[in-house]
Structure 1
Amino acid sequence: MLLELAGSRRILFFGGKGGVGKTTVSAATAVAMAETGKRVLLVSTDPAHNLGHLFGREIGPSPVKLAEGLDGLELDPDRTVDQHLEEVTAALRRMMPAHLGSEIDKHISLSRDAPGMQEAAMLERIAEVVELKREYDLIVFDTAPSGHTARLMALPEMMSAWTEGLIRQREKADSFSAVLQSLSRDSSVGEKAFGDEPARQDEDRNSRIRRLLNRRKQRFAGLRETIADRRQTAFVIVLAAERLPVLETIELNAQLLRAGVDVAALVVNKRLPEGLQGFLAERKAQEEIHLATLHEQLAHIPRKDLTLAAHDVLGVNALRAFAAEF
């Protein structure tokens, strides 16, 4: 089921509660699809950096080769915020008068720890990565735990609306500025007060601001459109057959639906095998109770159960063997 889903999409998001095996399932899917001849990019947005541990090598913010046809990268939230704020600072310094430099630095410093800054910065990077789909046949995202992922999926529409509001405010300010400049040209006092050169500088600055805002609007709108397009994007929730992961999965599905994102599949990872006795047989029976709750709420979503592996799944060969169960 998973490989069929991956074969028919350009982008796959894997989400779910922490510790259920999202990284292993997403990485195994990426390895298996790369072996079919597809060019695949595996991306981790989880600050735990489990992707590097899984492949036994350092993986950073730029794509590195993990296997034939498979590249990987890790988006570090703190580093992403730093890079995002550096870019914003540079853009503001280009657009704003030089004497406001200290105010810009103060604003950026206060923004670093503002609520939602990490998600907004990460969203920018995800949008950049999604634009790489021209270079890859498939992009697989291993996302952070559920709450973070749900907020991230809702952000494109919110950021697009926010940027649209800024553009409208900018247009109002430009219209007001044009009236003042018109008045200044009709008044000898105005000519001395405003002058032609400052007016041209204001026009250039306003033009740069509009271009920047429109680029951001187009980027967020494009990401929102891509995420909501079922023909090219799918979201998979990975969970364990335990009470809390099941309840969190039901809530995550509801949050994603509110954000306009449909869940294409459920993967129940680490299922106990059949034929057990004693304590393990009791645990197996408990799994069935929790999965009955899952079925009652989300029976309409295709589900794949994966048996608990006897050994840790580490490295390309182990991931390839794990994917055989998909």
Structure 2
Amino acid sequence: MLLDLITNRRIVFFGGKGGVGKTTVSAALAVAAADSGKKVLLVSTDPAHNLGHLFNRKIGATPVKLAPGLDGLELDPEQTVRQHLDEVTRALRKLMPVHLSGEVDKHMALSRDAPGMQEAAMLERIAEVVEQASGYDLIVFDTAPSGHTARLMALPEMMSAWTDGLIKRRDKADRFSAVLNSLNRDTSVGDKMLGDESDDSEEDRESRIRRLLNRRKQRFAGLRDALSDQRQTGFVIVLAAERLPVLETIELYAQLQQSRVDVAGLVVNKRLPDGMLGFLADRREQEDIHLQMLQEKLAHLPRKDLQLAAHDVLGVDALRAFAASF
């Protein structure tokens, strides 16, 4: 059933409450897809770095080979923020007048801990991965717990609109600069008012600002279009048959719908097998009660129940065996 969900999709996100087995399920599907002949990139956006632990090897910010046809990548949120801010700082230093470089550094230092900065930086990195991963048939994202992921899925629309607003403000600034220059052909006063203390002309700076903003707008718009295209992208929610994961799944589904992200299906992981006695039989009965609530709310979604494994799933061979239950 799970492999059927990705038959024609190029991007699949796995999300859900923390501790339900998102990394194991997404990694097993990635291994199975690679075994079927696809070229697969498995990407983790979870700061816990469970992907490296699962494959028992170091995985970093550049793709590494995990199995035939399968590469892995871990996006560290803190490192992503640092790289994002360093890149923005370098760009702003080139774009802004020399005498404002200190203000640029001060502003970026304050921005490092600003609300939403980590999500914005991670979103741009995800957009970059999708944009540059043209050599892969399938990109599988193992995401952080639900709340973080829901905000992440909503950001492309907001960031695209925000960048578009910046471009419009640049247009107004361009018109103002043109009027100012026409009123002061002497340039000496005009240059000081415009802060032109570098070798670059105002026109060159404006051109670079416009190119930078348009590139970001296109990147965010591209990701937004990809996320909202159910023929290309699907989101699989992983949960446990417990009350809180079920409630969180129902909430996450509603949030993803608002962000126009197609939920391709549900995976109920770590289910107790039938035929248990005593305490385990009572727990299995309790699972059925919680899943009845899930059925009432999300009956239209495909659902796959996966049995609790007797041993830890570690390494490619174990993931391949686990995927056989899909």
TM-score normalised to structure 1 length: 0.96
Residue of structure 1 in register with 2:46 after alignment: 46
The residue number in structure 1 matching 2:271 is: 271
Amino acid in the other structure paired with 2:75: L
Per-residue CA deviation, residues 50-85 of structure 1 (Å, 9 max, x unaligned), is 000000000001000000110001000000000000
One-letter code aligned to 1:146: S
**CA–CA distance in structure 2, aligned partners of residues 55 and 15 of structure 1:** 19
The answer for the alignment partner of 1:174 in structure 2 is 174
Distance 2:230 2:70 in 1: 24
Corresponding residue number in structure 2 for 1:310? 310
Give the aligned partner of residue 77 of structure 1: 77
Taking the aligned partners of 1:34 and 1:204, their CA distance within structure 2 comes to: 47
Aligned partners of 2:63 and 2:104: how far apart in 1? 32
Alignment partner, residue 29 of structure 2:
29
Structure 2 counterpart of 1:224? 224
* Whole-angstrom distance in 1 between the partners of 2:28 and 2:173: 52
Q: Is the 8 A contact 2:64 2:71 kept in 1?
A: yes
- Report the CA distance shift for 1:192/1:51 in structure 2 as closer, same or farther (over 3 A): closer
What pairs up with 1:233-248 in 2 under 5 angstroms? 233-248=233-248
1:9-55 alpha-carbon deviations (Å, 9 max, x no partner): 10100000000000000000000000111110000000000000000
User: How has the CA–CA distance of structure 1 residues 289 and 179 changed in structure 2, closer, same or farther, with 3 Å as cutoff?
Assistant: same
Q: How much does 1:133 deviate? A: 3.5
Pairing partner for 1:194 from 159, 169, 190: 190
The question of whether the paired residues in 2 share the 8 Å contact of 1:42 and 1:71 is answered with yes
Q: Is the 8 A contact 1:10 1:133 kept in 2?
A: no
**What is the percentage of aligned positions where both structures have the same residue?**
75
Structure 1 counterpart of 2:262: 262
User: Does residue 145 of structure 1 match 2:141?
Assistant: no
Structure 2 portions without partners, runs of 5+: none
**3-state SS, counterpart of residue 18 of structure 2:** coil
Q: Is the 8 A contact 1:7 1:33 kept in 2?
A: no
SS at match of 2:235: strand
How far residue 193 of structure 1 moved from its aligned partner, in angstroms, is 2.2
Q: Name the SS for the 1:41 alignment partner.
A: strand
**Which residue does 1:113 correspond to in 2?**
113
Change (3 A) 1:100 1:285: same
Contact residue 42 and residue 141 of structure 1 kept, 8 A: yes
Say yes or no: does 1:135 pair with 2:131.
no
2:300 pairs with 1:296: no
The alpha carbon displacement at 1:132 in A equals 2.9
Q: Which runs of 4+ in 1 moved over 2 A?
A: 190-200
The letter of the residue matching 2:17 is K
Q: Distance in 1 between matches of 2:252 and 2:58?
A: 31
Deviates more, 1:106-115 or 1:199-208: 199-208
TM-score where L is the length of structure 2: 0.96
For 2:79, the aligned partner's letter is R
C-alpha distance in 1 between matches for 2:133 and 2:7: 14
Deviations 1:180-229, CA, capped at 9 Å, x for gaps: 111223xxxx4442369959711111111011001100000000000111
Structure 2 residue aligned with 1:122: 122
- Taking a change above 3 Å as real, the CA distance of residues 237 and 191 of structure 1, as seen in their structure-2 partners, is closer
CA distance in 2 between counterparts of 1:34 and 1:262 reads: 23
Deviations 1:82-122 (A, max 9, x none): 00000001100111111111111100100000000000000
> What is the rounded CA distance, in whole Å, between the counterparts of 1:8 and 1:178 in structure 2?
51
Where 1:134 maps in the other structure, the secondary structure is coil
User: Would the aligned equivalents of 2:180 and 2:190 in 1 still touch at CA under 8 Å?
Assistant: no
Contact 1:240 1:270 in 2 (8 A): yes
- Name the Cα RMSD after superposition: 1.5
